[in-house]
Amino acid sequence: MELIDAKLVLPKSGTVVFLIDESLKLSPQLEKLNKSKEITKALKVSGFFKGKKGQALNIISSSSTLDRVILLGVGSADEVTALSVLSVGGRLAAHANCLELEAITLMIEANAKWKIDSAELLYNLALGAKLRNYRFNKYFVSKESEHKVFLKKITLCHDIAKAKEMLKEVHSLSDGIFLTRDLVSQPPNVLYPQTFAEECKKLEKLGLKVTVLKEKDLAKLGMNALLGVGVGSVRETHLVVMQWHGHPQGNKQKPIAFVGKGVTFDSGGISIKPATGMGDMKYDMAGASTVTGLMKTLASRKAKVNAVGVIGIVENMPSGSAQRPGDVVVSMSGQTIEVDNTDAEGRLVLADALWYTQSKFQPEFMINLATLTGAIVVSLGENIYAGLFSNNEKLAEKLLQSAETSGEGLWRMPLKDAYDKQINSEIADVKNTGNGKGGGSITAAHFLQRFVNKFPWAHLDIAGMAWDKAGSDISAKGATGFGVRLLNQLVMNHFEKKKN
């Protein structure tokens, strides 16, 4: 969807959208259209329209040359915030598509009573609309017309000095989120380790350095935990390293690191999953997809930071060559791991990926993302919070602040020695499941922590956040792209070299 930058002048044709709060007070530009009192009359006779957040009132005017005027509610004046406006932008895109509109004009007028300035208003309306307008329609052929996205262009009329720069940031962020959504949505016969790595290589055109390590490279490095997950599949396992060098001080500045679990399909291996719902396991690579989308965003907006994204990409399948429950593997760290359950494979992927990242790059911190456990969904539900585990209070606090600002929720979960003891093995240094019946997401986090050393680290368990079966104001049903906004916010607010 195209975003057009324009001056705050009423157009002479087309569909024009105005924001209005629950006071139903008309904005200055809307007053200009109300000379014949058509707007006032429409508000009076509509009955249902109260200016609540996301409500829309369509007015066909007989006294102007416009095709249609849409009044879009933003809710109570004292509750208009950046996040509420983000939702309003999403609902605008949904409404426009319901009306089969290909182009609309949106008037951006600030209101002194709203807790948001014109620049924030424009940014969040534009971002919300773009995010909601996304659809993964690639595989509809005979039913293509039933899934058409009509909205192609929004003209944003405003008087904001830095609007063009802000809209570029909207495009950079949304493009990263869309890449994440695309990757998560692809079927596993199309997206597997090799083709995922090929998608990453395409990002080199943005200035990223992308290195793909294949099985022979991983074997030399001793990544037997990662390799063990994929031995039952005909698909070769890969590790992809994406580097962005954007800090003014060059390589003198330590990179920040993001690590993702990329299981392109998770059958559970020998510890096979139930058939019901197994098709959903195509998105068990959402952590790796988020890292990839984030790296695209950082490169697209030329972020003033050094960053590295590392993703372990593997397919977990049962076969005669598959890893067995009871096997012991030697990880890159040298620690031995008893594989108690082959369906607890994501932590094996991350164990080697985390060790490789800290050993090679000595980063300022590491954040890993993974659809790691069903237990986190039991704890926190779906599409509300991701679980946050961290060994560093400052990093955790910065993540929680960024979550609140971006609207991508995190909930801090505990790390305690009592849980760590549950992953001690009787035959190896550690085992990949806990002894207890509960706390599965916590013992999984403790497993990862054993491969972190003393580096500041955070683990985000996004199992309940990567896919939304109902959809939201800013995301249609399906892949959400969770984490890209959150981590981009973290980088901007706390780690990026500020512009002079």
Q: Which residues are catalytic?
A: 273, 347
Alpha-carbon torsion, ordered 266, 267, 268, 274, to 10 deg: 130
